[in-house]
Amino acid sequence: MSKLADLLQLTLQGIAPVYGNEAEPADDLKAMQTAINAIRLHWLGEGVLQLSPAPGDDRGLSLLLSAGIHGNETAPVELLDQLLKRILMGELRLRCRLLVVFGNPQAMRQGVRYIEQDLNRLFNGRHKDSQGFEAKRAASLERFAADFFRGANLKKSLHYDLHTAIRGSKIEQFALYPFAENRLHSRAELKRLQSAGISAVLLQNRPATTFTAYSYAQLGVEAITLELGKARPFGQNQEINLQKLQSVIERLIEGDESHPPDAFLDGLQLFTVSREIIKQSDHFRLHLSDNIENFSPLKQYSLLAEDGDMRWQVDEANARIIFPNAKVQNGQRAGLIIVPAAQAI
């Protein structure tokens, strides 16, 4: 079997696939192509593999699955590795166009969140204002995604970006659904998320610089970020249960795009962003416990954060906090104040 069948090991070892026993540096971006069981494999670059179904098997869906945008979030990487191997061993029948992306190979190899700067803050063109490895990688990933979805049926195009969180969460598995002008969030996609084990969805209401925000706003595809538990090293993810998500992704891979009945949306918790907390300087202070969990309630009228003369007070009723992190770089988001969504989908 071609070395392309083991994308994760190629990525972690930093080598490019070759035919034979020799290896080349992974930064030599020669496009490698082969076929396994009539499935065409096209290695586009380090950590990026496109698969095309056997003739006659294509049901028209274009599916992008990404993980490892943060290098220490390993459970989603292991899931994609398992799915890829099952496809190439013939245990899953590929009936869609599939692009598998391991986002930040250098950070994955070092077991760290990022090398120089947070890759998931550099999309939607933000990389043009920056330099370094992650900025170049964001530009490359945008190009790979744009090329993959170009000419595809947008009604049958989907991008799941799989993550785990730095901290624990009162709602362990949740999703972030990006924003775009003049576009509504899809009830059908929300139903699919709930069937995948997602308990809450943050319906974003402003532009963002994440990978899925780029796919959703710029490419016009359905794109959703999934947070699937707490970040752990490779081989230590036994406590994270991804069976429901795996089942949904397997059905998509095999061409089944059906949704649960309408009533299945009942019970899914929907939130929206009230405010972003942006760290402006080294004087920033977040008045929360270091081990506070995502979705923790915030006491109304309490002081949440300070940055010099700037103060964030919790004015909102029923507010919660997600992604609190006082250690982000200046100019970046140090947390989100979220509230229950005012309207049902």
DSSP-derived 3-state class of residue 144: helix
CATH of 277-340, one of 1.50.10.100, 2.40.50.630, 3.65.10.10, 1.10.10.10: 2.40.50.630
Q: Per the structure block, which two tokens stand in for 52?
A: 């095309």
pTM: 0.93
For CA atoms 335, 240, 236, 253, the dihedral sign is: negative
Average pLDDT over residues 28-56: 84
What backbone torsions phi and psi does residue 213 show, to the nearest 5 degrees?
-60, -40
Confirm whether residue 73 is marked as ligand binding.
yes
Confirm whether residue 222 is marked as ligand binding.
no
Beta strand residue intervals within 178-247, DSSP E: 200-203, 222-230
Is residue 46 left, alpha or beta, with left meaning phi > 0 and alpha meaning psi from -120 to 50? beta
DSSP-derived 3-state class of residue 218: helix
Per-residue pLDDT tens over the stretch 90-107:
999 999 999 999 999 999
**CATH 3.40.630.10, the chain: domain bounds:** 3-265
Contacts of 16 (CB under 8 A, 6+ apart): 10, 23, 24, 25, 26, 28, 29, 30, 32, 43, 46
**CATH 2.40.50.630, the chain: domain bounds:** 277-340
pLDDT at 95: 97
pLDDT at 28 over 50: no
Confirm whether residue 250 is marked as ligand binding.
no
Q: Per the structure block, which two tokens stand in for 42?
A: 């096209």
DSSP-derived 3-state class of residue 256: coil
Is residue 143 left, alpha or beta, with left meaning phi > 0 and alpha meaning psi from -120 to 50? alpha
| Residue 265 vs residue 144, higher pLDDT | 144
Mean pLDDT over each residue of the chain, to the nearest integer: 90
Per-residue pLDDT tens over the stretch 214-226:
999 999 999 999 9
User: What's domain 3-265's superfamily in CATH?
Assistant: Zn peptidases (3.40.630.10)
pLDDT at 46 over 80: yes
Cα separation of 294 and 94, whole Å?
36
Per-residue pLDDT tens over the stretch 277-316:
999 999 999 999 999 999 999 999 999 999 999 999 999 9
List, by residue number, the catalytic residues: 227
Cα separation of 41 and 266, whole Å?
40
- Write the single-letter amino acid at 147: D
